Amino acid sequence: FAGYISQVLKNYTDHACDGEYVSLRCPHRTTISIQSSFYGRIVPSHQMCPSRYPHSYATLIKEDVACSVGTSLQKMLDECQDRRSCQFLVNSRLFGTDPCPGTGKYLLVWYKCRPNEYKSKVACEDDKLRLSCKKSMVIAIYSAIFGRTQGGSLECPYQNLGMPMIECQSATALQLMIKRCHGKRSCSIYASTYEFGDPCYPGIQKHLNVIYTCDNTPLLLPVDETQPPAPGSSSSMEPVGVSTEMALLSNLLAAYAFIT
């Protein structure tokens, strides 16, 4: 079960060049949750997805490395969102108008595996958040956000102090919630800047939103996202950080998301 939760908590990155199949898959009792997607080319072909045909140096110089398709995220949502697995052939026809004909492109996808059944709890700033499971069941944290989200929170309406609606989130909220609550029958924590730090400008009201599941397995172990898989283990879903290539793809996707 610890391995199952480790897979659920991971962010996964997959990629496929034009003419290849992209295949996404999540473990039992979870479904695909697309986080971000990119289709196009932002690095030269000698670094990723080289052409299947021989190119002269002059041809490579003309290659478009600022090419992206704005419909890639919606396409991935249509094909894979809320399914346990999905697979399709990558080519420019899938994404509508080709912004850079003659340039070989690739698809990058960042996704998580969301539990089929989960609970969500919210605590306003400086209030206590309590999580609990029934007897013989333990908490498995799926996601945690502390800060201010664009959509706000119905449970914690913001006072209009003349400040713009700026999204700000703690980078350590998930790790802290895993440390405090993961594998326990119950736990509590204050939704305060003392616990999570202050990711927002002074005076901005924040809230803590936690999504978790309960499982009837008492052998749940803390998850260390830095540890590689055990020797001899095999998985077709390689977590980000285990593979150098996957780490590169993840960084490229994060850079693209930041730029856009």
pLDDT, tens only, 212-248: 888 765 444 443 333 333 333 333 333 333 344 444 4
This prediction's pTM: 0.56
- What pLDDT score was predicted for residue 88? 92
In tens, the pLDDT along 117-160 reads 788 899 999 999 999 998 888 888 888 999 987 766 677 876 65
> For residue 172, which amino acid is it?
T
In tens, the pLDDT along 9-34 reads 677 889 999 999 999 998 877 889 89
Task: Please tell me which of 90-99, 125-134, 202-211 the model is most confident about, judged by mean pLDDT.
Answer: 125-134
- What pLDDT score was predicted for residue 79? 92
Q: What is the rounded CA–CA span in Å between residue 44 and residue 21?
A: 21
Query: Which among 81, 89, 75 has a CA at the least distance from the CA of 26?
Result: 81
- What pLDDT score was predicted for residue 104? 87
Contact 105, 40 (CB under 8 A): yes
Fold of 119-215: Jelly Rolls (2.60.120)
Residue 161's pLDDT band (cuts 50, 70, 90): low
State the span(s) of the chain assigned CATH 2.60.120.740.
1-115, 119-215
Q: Quick check: 201 pLDDT over 80?
A: yes
- What pLDDT score was predicted for residue 66? 86
Q: 58: which residues sit within 8 A by CB, 6+ positions away?
A: none
Which of 27-31, 163-167, 177-181, 198-202 has the lowest average pLDDT? Answer: 163-167
Contact 159, 182 (CB under 8 A): no
Q: What is the mean pLDDT of residues 175-199?
A: 92
Q: Quick check: 56 pLDDT over 70?
A: no
Fold of 1-115: Jelly Rolls (2.60.120)
Q: Quick check: 167 pLDDT over 90?
A: no
Higher pLDDT, 53 or 179: 179
Q: What is the rounded CA–CA span in Å between residue 209 and residue 190?
A: 12
Angle, alpha carbons 62-68-70 (nearest 5°): 155
Q: What is the mean pLDDT of residues 76-102?
A: 90
- The token duo for 102 is 């003659």
Work out the percent of the chain whose per-residue pLDDT is above 90. Answer: 30
Q: What is the mean pLDDT of residues 53-75?
A: 72
